[in-house]
Structure 1
Amino acid sequence: MLVISLSREIGGYLYEVFIANFDFWLALGLIGQLLFAMRFVVQWVASEREQRSVIPVAFWFFSIGGGLITLVYGLYKREPVIILGQAFSIFIYLRNLVFITRERRAARSAAKG
């Protein structure tokens, strides 16, 4: 009986969270999480191809996209943990793109000169 009761409780919870409460904001939050998760797929595939740890530029663009959408979701839902976490993380993702851009410019200059 305990297993059946627990199963019903979990099923009810999942229904409420993912079906009954489904709206635009939940869909937006899920899209943000999907974009955020895709960065790991991109990183994994790139690393497998190179047979070493690689973080491609697409990783940072997925990070920024997922982070921004998740930040908007957090702002709407008034979730301070999401707001603080994503706002800080987006800065780091953008900073990494600045480093990559600088490195590529330096490499082009060195190749020319």
Structure 2
Amino acid sequence: MSWLEALGWTGNGFYFSRFFVQWWQSERAGKSVAPPIFWWLSVAGAATLGTYAYLAADSPLFVGYAITFVIYVRNVSIAYLGERAGRIGAVPALLLGLGASLLLLRFGTTPAGAESASRPWLIAAFLGQAFFSMRFVIQWYATEKLGHAYFPRSFWWFSLIGNVLLLAYAIQRGDPVFIAGFSAGPFVQIRNLMLPPMIPVLPPIEKT
């Protein structure tokens, strides 16, 4: 195994472990939660896999990891600084997230090797990636609106739909790396949907 491959598998390890940590913390709390360690593992995974994609000259993946890296860092700052992190605002966050997603689509989102797949499988892969990209746009919007890291239930629905589509595509391709990466996701996502949702703490109404 080359050092570049080791870098890629290390990034997958960060991404793979973050939802198990989130799941464990949620089981302890008895409800779906967003622990700070989830965002730290996400930052590490995005930085590692983003570097891997850059060195591998995979511009579509690099753009995707760069976009999510910014969202993860923003969640870390909100989790630790609270109101001191400032507010971007829910609507600007949504517009920025949608703009970033469109930038990702502009660079292309079809996985490598997809040219050998049939059109229905290409559509499944595209839709899966679209849902996966939008889930953190939705999460960012909710976080900026409330002022603290928050997983709305729609985040888990988008995650589940995108994960199932991408897992089906990975199985069709017979890619063991993608199959391993997407196999555990549905269990964590379904469990979070079964747990009581996080209760949003609305910001106080400013007196005029």
What's the CA shift for 1:103?
A: 2.4
Distance 1:37 1:81 in 2: 21
Aligned position for 2:119: none
1:33-112 aligned within 5 A: 33-103=12-82
Deviation by residue 1:38-72 (Cα, 9 ceiling, x = unmatched): 11011000001111001100001100111101011
Q: Residue 167 of structure 2 aligns with which residue? A: none
Secondary structure of 1:99's counterpart equals: helix
Question: Following the alignment from structure 1 to structure 2, what is the Cα–Cα distance between the partners of residues 38 and 49?
Answer: 17
Describe the superposition over 1:19-46 as per-residue Cα deviations: whole angstroms up to 9, x where unpaired: xxx3110111000110111110110000
Change (3 A) 1:104 1:44: farther
How many angstroms apart in 1 are the aligned matches of 2:55 and 2:10? Answer: 15
Of all paired residues, the percent bearing the same amino acid is 32
- Matched pairs, number: 84
Q: Secondary structure at the match of 2:31?
A: coil
Bigger Rg, structure 1 or 2: 1
CA RMSD of aligned residues (A): 1.4
The whole-number CA distance in structure 1 between the counterparts of 2:14 and 2:77 is: 21
User: C-alpha distance in 2, partners of 1:42/1:104?
Assistant: 25
Query: Any idea what SS the aligned residue of 2:28 has?
Result: helix
Gaps of 5+ in 2: 85-208
- CA drift of 1:101 comes to 2.4
Higher share of residues assigned helix: 1
